Amino acid sequence: MNTVTLLTIAGVLIIVGLASYAGYLLLQLKKQKELQQQHRELAIKKRNANIFESVDTICLATIQGQCDLSEAAIRLYNIMDYVQGDERVDFDKEFPATAELFHIVKDMPRGDARQEMEKQQRMRDNLTRQKAEARLNDAIVEELKTLQRTVQPLNDQIDIKLVG
């Protein structure tokens, strides 16, 4: 065998070895990306489960009369905006009465800001809120029952385990 043949064989072996190693690295990268995607999906499910637990509690408290309809509408509308993935809900479309009440009261001052308002303006806001709550009460309670049933099956505690 001459030198050129030996160098050619060595070169081919080196190229085959490097190609095999590159293939191995690409396979490892693919596995890592799949694992990251699984972790991302589990994290979303866990976060949604925590959100749904809060939603369930707010719905129950409101249905039992322990929470004002306006406060529930504000809290539910805002918290459901954080739901990710397939469980995401178009609140305006799925729960129109609750969304309507939210849009009526969302800009009304609350807490200390409400106390600083003029008495007449505060009374006007109260009247507007109370009229809307009275008009939408039955529809909102039914929507909250539906929402509670919707999030109940999804409200599982999800254990996140590292897959390695």
More confident residue, 159 or 12: 12
Sequence-distant (6+) residues with CB within 8 A of 91 are: 76, 77, 80, 81, 98, 99, 102
Cβ–Cβ < 8 Å for 59, 76: yes
Tell me the longest C-alpha to C-alpha distance in the chain: 105
Euclidean distance between CA atoms 34 and 120, whole angstroms: 60
Euclidean distance between CA atoms 90 and 76, whole angstroms: 12
Sequence-distant (6+) residues with CB within 8 A of 116 are: 109
The answer, yes or no, to whether residue 31 has pLDDT greater than 60, is: yes
Percent of the chain with pLDDT over 90: 38
Euclidean distance between CA atoms 110 and 18, whole angstroms: 67
pLDDT at 74: 92
Euclidean distance between CA atoms 94 and 58, whole angstroms: 17
Core vs surface per residue 74-112: b (16+ CB within 10 A) or e: bbbbeebeebeeebeeebeeebebbbbbbebbeebeeee
pLDDT in tens, 95-151: 999 999 999 888 887 777 777 778 888 888 888 888 888 898 999 999 999 998 888
Which of 18-22, 137-141, 150-154, 160-164 has the lowest average pLDDT? 160-164
DSSP-derived secondary structure for 70-111: HHHHHHHHHHHTT--GGG---HHHH-HHHHHHHHHHTTS--T
Alpha helices in the chain (DSSP H): 3-63, 69-80, 91-94, 96-105, 112-115, 119-151
